[in-house]
Amino acid sequence: MSANHALAAEVVRLATERQQTLGTAESLTAGLIAATVAEVSGASAVLMGGVVSYDPRVKREVLGVAQAVIDGPGVVSEPCARQMAEGARVLLKTDIAVSATGVAGPMGGTQDAPVGTVYIGLADARGTMAIRYQFEGDRQAVRAQTVAAALTLVLDSLKA
């Protein structure tokens, strides 16, 4: 069992126990967070769905990310991750929503957001937050580390 599968199994177990539902809003992971949770037997009791919002238009039109955020700090930013999580929580009507936006590489990095820069957002009944991460490795390694960090944030929310 991979480390991410073990994290997902714990998310499903705790969310089921606490009768909490989960949704995702994913950019660079393109559904990998939701897919990792869905690999766990019993996930259908807690995973309501997810939005793959690779394009800024989807972030804006589906998740409600403000155009000012897209034009200002950009899609790889703390405000974007926060608004993605909030939008997913409302759209999917879940207790918890987690979001991920960033640069998986190998291209696309900037001076302010080099390859490996990822923002993960989480929205729950207590509010919304986002954390910036700087992951190392190739595209797949950055995506796998993003899934691990996102599932860890969900676990923290469930344990709070």
Residues 50-103 have pLDDT tens digits of: 999 999 999 999 999 999 999 999 999 999 999 999 999 999 999 999 999 999
d(CA 55, CA 45): 29
Buried b (16+ CB within 10 A) or exposed e, 78-101: bbbbbbbbbbbbebbebbbbbbbb
Q: For strand 22-26 and strand 47-52, is the pairing parallel, antiparallel, or unpaired?
A: parallel
% the chain with pLDDT above 90? 96
> Can you give the pTM of this predicted structure?
0.97
Mean pLDDT of 31-46: 98
- Please report the pLDDT score of residue 142 as a whole number: 98
